[in-house]
Structure formats: C-alpha cells, structure tokens
Structure 1
Amino acid sequence: MGKDGPSIPDEEWERFLREAEAGTQDAPEEPSARARMVARRLREEGGPPEAWRAHRPPRRRGGKGWYVLGLLVVVGLLVVALVPGQVAGWFGGGGGDSTPLAAESERPDQPPPTEIAAELPTLEEPFRGSPAARWGDGTAGIGLPAARATGWMSKEQVAQALDRSRDFLAASSLDAGVLRGERPKKAIALINPHQRDVQDYVAAAFSAPDRDNDPRLLFSRFDSTKVRLVGDVVKTRGRITYREGERGAVEVTADVTYVYPVVRAAAGSDEVARTIVRREIVMSWDDPEKVVTEPGTFSLVSYKADTTNGGCDSVTGYFTPEFRTERAAEDAGGGPEVDPYDRSTSMDERMREAGDAECGTATRS
C-alpha cells in the first residue's frame, strides 16, 4: 500500500518476519543464542531487549584488591574487587567443621557463615579458611537430578543429556589442559556446530580475545607462564536442573561455583591465591526434527559468569589472579560488596545488585 493506505499491524509484521526467517513452520530452524536470549529477557522482564552482548557500563578501575570479573554475555561486563585484608572464611581445617557438605539440590537460603579470624591458604591446604574446604572435588560437587521423560526425550535420553551437560562443565572448567591454557576442544565439540553466532564467538575468542569475545565467559583458563594450579583439585558447589524448553527441547541449566587455588609460576613460589568463578549456563538439547543440530550436541541459550580475582582490566583470554604483594601496591577499591561464596541469590539478582559498577569489593576469598 502507499503511504496514505492502511499500515500492517505490528503483530502481523513480526509474524511475517519470523516465518520468512524460518522458511516454513515444519522445517528445522538453525538456533541462535542471540534470538533465544532476546526472547528470554522479553518473557522475564517484560520490557524491550538490549542487543546481544552490546551493553557496556562505564569502565571504572577498582583499586587495591582482588578483582571480581563479572561477565554477563548478553548484557555486559561486571568486575568486582576484594579489599586486602578482608580475608574471612568458613574454616574447613584448623579448628573448623570439615565435614563434607551434601550435594546441593536447591538454592540455599543464606550464604555460608563466616568466622571472625581468617586462616590463609597454604600449599598443603589451598582451600583453608574458605567455605570451599567442605565442597566437592570436581564434578562430585555438582548435583545431578533424577531423569524423567521430558519434551521430545525419553527418560534414558534425558539421563544422557544430563551426563553430557556435566561433561561440558568438566571439559570447559575442570580439564587440566584447559586450565593450563589449552584450547577446550572437547567442550567446543559438544556445542551445536550450526549455532552460527556462538561458533563465531568461539572462533574470535581464541584468535583475538577482547571484551566482546572473551573465552573466559565459558572456559576457565590460566596463563601457565605466570601462574600454576596448586594440586589437582578444583572445588565445586552447584547443581543442574532441567525443564521442557522451546519446541519440546530439554533445557538444562547448570549453576556452579568453581574455586581454583594458584601460585606464581616461578619455582619456589608458595603464596596461594584463589580465583572463584560462578557460571550459569543454559543448554538446549533440541529435537532434530525441529532445530538444525548434530547428535550429541546442544545449543547455548544463555551464559553468565561472575569471577573473583580473575583480572579487572585484563582481557588476555586468561584469568590473571593477583597476590597480596600486588594488591598492596594498589589503591583501595570501591563499588558494591559481593560474597563470592554466596549462592543464595540467582545470577540475575547478583547482576542487578551490581548495577553499572564494574569494580567492587569481594568480602572474602
């Protein structure tokens, strides 16, 4: 119609665009983390969506402290810093309760308790003075629910999807080679190769990492020329849940906190620092009759991360933890306080509480 004729209603125009992009209603669609995340924010917030990985709050350098690097893939980047000397913990050794915790089956209603005195970590006890001393080792600390038939999958297929989702967490955040900086080939192989925006992000993240394409959003990596892990144990606390998602898919959500003890790479180094990463990853195990996918792979719906002592301004593609002597040379930091061991709030709540601040204060390490 001409400009004086009746206009097409917005609802009809949007439906036309969706159907034009999909081709036909019966044809499988190629998944997009961008489209999926926009739809999710519309449902949860009821307001207009921001562009995928477009928003960036004003940068503000935190001072003296351990930095908390908060990474929200579709919204932006949050970084929080730990004020030196505020190393308070829940003792897992040396006078505190060291009984291992049962697996987490639901979100706790409060953070782990703290003690007045603090005990510094050592090479022999790298989790000393930390709630992580009572957490599980590796995948043992990740609670897995019972499988039931859901969406297009049978009970057995759901069980396999849950196992493979946990395999991705192990391959991306626990694998010894990946932690030393190697490319996470096993983890990448589990991501739907037809999810073009995610594949583009992964390719850029490992060839030219920057704030928009940072491998630490999904993968835990340290520069082995600068730091090395203490021992071979990474402490974890978290759980995996699932539900029926779009088009009958099985949507798996993993909300897990990882604690990495490290020392400087130089021979004889004995000062232990800890990098703490909490990630929430939503994975969609799609029906191949409705979504273009490959057997044994999932599509990423969304992913968020909040990282303590991983580097405030550093975008090298590696976590860059700081040690006490380095923190002492910095100015005191500001911003909102964050307890990196607190799992009583959702990742969305944590990001909202942080607001536009990029550097804040972690209350313990």
Structure 2
Amino acid sequence: MTRGSWPGPEDGSSGSAYPEELWERFLTDNERNIAATAPKELSARARVAARRIREEKERAAARGDRRPGPPGRPRPAQDRLDLSSATAAARRAARAAEDAKERRKRRWINAVGVLLVLATLAFALTAGRVWPVVTGEGGRGSTAAPTSTLPPETARPAGPPAAVPEQRATLQRPFAGSPAEVWGDGAAAIVPPAAIPYFAVTRDRVADGLRLAKDLMVATGLDPAVLAGGSTDAVSKLIDAHSGGARGTLADGLAHPTAADDPTALLSRFGPEARLVGDTVKVRGRMTLGVGDTYGGARILADYTFVYPVRRASDTGASPEITRTVVRRTVTVELPADVQRPARIDSLLLAGWTAQIAGVDCGVHDGFLHPRFDGGGARVAAPAHGPGVDPYDRSKPVADGTGTLDCVRALRV
C-alpha cells in the first residue's frame, strides 16, 4: 500500500485518495492518543444528575421563570431584585397592619379615658345631691353643707341674700335652707374696724370704744346666760351710768316689761318653752365710725343680725321640729373727746338701740322671745297686716331710736 492510495472496493475499482492531514494522523496515532480522543460514556451518577437538571429546567419552564436553573444556584440579579422588592412590600404591608392595629388600640384607650373623666366630673357635680338621698340625711332638696364662709361685711349690701333651696333644718344642720348657713359663727363674726384717731378722739380711745362695743354685742346677743333668761349683769356693767338713763331703762324693762318698754329690744332672751339647738349662733354685720353729737366726739354704730336655731324644750326626740328666730339689732355709742373725758373708758355711753325681730309671736311682751312653731301648742298669732319682710335683708337701714322694737312678719326664717 502506498501513501496517497487506498484499496478500492472488492469489485476491483480503483481506490480513493484522502487528505494528507488525515493520513498523517493515521500514521502518528498510538494507543494512548486513541484512548484520550475516543468518546467517553457518562457514569450512572452523572446520568442521574443530568436527568435531575433536565427535569428542573422543565419544571422551571412550566412555572414561567425567566432563568430556570438547578436548586441552590444563585438567581440572576434581576430575579434577586424582584425578590427583594416583594419582600420589602410584604414588610411594609405588615408594618401598616401593625400600625393600624396600634391606632385602633389607642383610640379605644382614649375613648375609655374620656368616659372615665366625664363620669368622675358628673359624680363630683351631683354627689352633694345624691349622697344625702342614699344615706337618708337631710330633707327635700337637701344638699351638702357649704364649706365656705362669707368674708366680714364692710359696707351696706346692695340687696338681700339670694334665695336658697328649700331644706329641712336638722340637728346636724340647723341652718339648712337659710342664707345664714354661710355666715360667721358667734363672736368671731363680730369684727370691729381698725382703730384710728377721729377728730378730737385719740386712737386709744377709739380702740377702747370698738372693743367695748363688741363686748356689748356679744353680751346682748350671744351670752349663754342671757339667752337662757338668766342674769343680765354682764350687759349692765358695759353701760355707763351717765348714758341718759339707759341702765335704768333696761332695769325697768326687765322688772316690768311692756310693749313700750320691752328689754328684748336690747338683748335676746328666750322663754322657757324654747331651747337653742347646739352652741352656734350665726352672725352677720358691721361696725362703723362716724361723727358724734358732742363737740369733737365720735360715734360707733354697731349693726348686726343674729340667727338662732331653736326647738321646743319638751321635744327631746331625735328629729324635732326646728325653727329659727332672726334678730337684727343696732346699738349707737358716743365717744366724747379726750378733753371731756381724759381717763380711759371702761363702759359705753349708749345713745340709742333698736331691734327688728322675726320668727316669734309678736303679741307677747313679757321680756322674752317666743319662737313660732308650725305644729302643736296654741300661741298668739303674728300680725297679718302689712307687707312681709325678709329678715336676712341687710341692704335697708333701720330706724333710729331708743328701745325701738319692730316685730315683723317674716317671708323666710
């Protein structure tokens, strides 16, 4: 066989020539080269892996993935971006749902808080009216007792006190239903003004006069012995013997009381059938300085209203009938100039006194006050003529005089 020829077919036809490179490869190939270049068959494990990859590609194609690939292989950048966007959107939706839930929770908490505040406010406004009804204390229209007291009166009021709800007076609240419930108590409510020199009266004498004027108002309107109809020596000692017979006039009235000479014009005394409720007497009024009748002298005008809660002495029950007696009393005191009476004063020159009394039987003049009660016991009727008077109205002046007594038909006590 020569180079460049190849035996032909058995039929005897001539051979065909092959390219030189193929002939060179045929001559130079050895066993190792043939083994290296021969096609290799895949192992069983490789065939299984190839089948899995092929099946995964088919499933990915069925799902519509852009770049299907075997499990575990990183996704392309576009797929990772799409996944990040979806995750962020899911997180935003979750946060929005959580925020909405928190807002609903806060709204409920705020609504409950507002309701609690309103309920507390409503209870605070109505507790004073509800609690007495629950406990059975007080009468019709009863409310809690006022906790504040009016400041001292320094000038004449512009009008009468405002109306108060109708309430039944009790042993615990004897002034219920009365404007006097917010007035001062006893002697503490009698507050003289500051002492100052007045014309020819020195400051010391003015101070003495104001102090003695208060002592006289306490003795005539608040002294327990006088109120119970006992000794009146405390009043007599405060009246100067040169008071134009004032001390003698009082003594005569106590010994022989008449309608024209009734000692209750100057002092409050209750008859044996009445008894004060408690130890408190409500007081309202003022004390003022003015020009006196003597040369260079001064004048003190004491104008006070006393409210006495009373019950029948025979009624010792737990819920007695309680009424009130209201006495407005004025006392005028002269303070002469120091040159006329150089010594310190220890008694008062009374220039006049007057009283307006309400809540008592006006037809009795025995030197005592007789309160009117609604039920039981025949008493002398109060006068029905003339207009009614509000005994708590301190806006109107009282008449001047000596020993003047005005028993009025009260519009309220």
| TM-score category (smaller protein) | 0.5 to 0.7
Any stretches of 5+ residues in structure 1 without a counterpart? 1-90, 352-357
Partner of 2:204, secondary structure, is: helix
Q: Distance in 1 between matches of 2:382 and 2:250?
A: 35
> How far apart are the structure 1 equivalents of 2:376 and 2:328?
24
1:249 to 1:182, Cα distance in 2 relative to 1, 3 A? farther
Determine the structure 1 residue equivalent to 2:322. 272
Quote the Cα distance in structure 1 between the aligned partners of 2:141 and 2:224: 24
Q: 1:150: Cα distance to partner?
A: 1.2
Per the alignment, in what secondary structure is the counterpart of residue 324 of structure 1? coil
Match in the other structure for 1:340: 391
In the alignment, what sits opposite 2:54?
Answer: none
CA distance in 2, matches of 1:183, 1:250: 31
| Equivalent residue pairs, number | 266
1:179 and 2:227 equivalent? Answer: yes
Aligned partners of 1:227, 1:110: CA distance in 2, in Å? 32
Which letter maps to 1:198?
A: A
Q: Report SS of the residue matched to 1:318.
A: coil
CA-to-partner distance for each residue in 1:226-253, whole Å, 9 max, x for gaps?
A: 1111111110000000123122223100
Alignment correspondent of 2:282: 235
The answer on whether the counterparts of 1:92 and 1:128 sit within 8 Å (CA) in structure 2 is: no
Contact in 2 for aligned 1:111/1:343 (Cα 8 Å) = yes
Deviation at 1:303, TM superposition (A): 1.2
- CA 1:248–1:359 in structure 2 vs 1: closer, same or farther (change >3 Å)? closer
Paired position in structure 2 for 1:126: 174
- Greater percentage in helix: 2
> Shift in Å at residue 103 of structure 1?
0.6
Larger displacement relative to structure 2 (145-154 or 91-100): 91-100
Trace 1:30-49 onto structure 2 (pairs within 5 A). none
- What is the root-mean-square deviation in Å for CA atoms of aligned residues? 2.8
Q: TM-score, normalised by structure 1?
A: 0.67
After superposition, the Cα gap between the structure-2 partners of 1:178 and 1:256, relative to the gap in structure 1 and judged at 3 Å, is: same
- Which structure has more strand as a fraction of its residues? 1
Q: Residues 75-100 of structure 1: CA distance to partner in whole angstroms, max 9, x if unpaired?
A: xxxxxxxxxxxxxxxx9972575421
Contact 2:276 2:308 in 1 (8 A): yes
2 CA distance for matches of 1:93 and 1:140?
27
Which of the residues 138, 147, 158 maps onto 2:186? 138
**Unpaired segments of 5 or more residues in structure 2?**
1-139
Q: Percent identity?
A: 35
- Pick the aligned partner of 2:143 from 64, 74, 94: 94
Q: Which amino acid aligns with 2:254?
A: F
Tell me the equivalent position of 1:304. Answer: 354
Q: Look up the match of 2:211.
A: 163
Deviation at 1:326, TM superposition (A): 4.9
> Higher Cα Rg: structure 1 or 2?
2
TM-score scaled by length of structure 2: 0.59
Q: What residue number does 1:33 align with? A: none
Write the distance in 2 (CA, Å) between the matches of 1:92 and 1:182. 38
In structure 2, the CA distance between the partners of 1:201 and 1:332, relative to structure 1 (3 Å rule), is closer
Structure 1 residues 241-250 or 253-262, which shifts more? Answer: 241-250
Residue correspondence of structure 1 range 1-12 to structure 2 within 5 A: none
Q: Which residue of 297, 315, 326 maps to 2:365?
A: 315
Q: Is the 8 A contact 2:356 2:408 kept in 1?
A: no
Encode CA deviations 1:254-296: one digit per residue, 9 max, x unaligned: 0100000111111515111100000111111234753799931
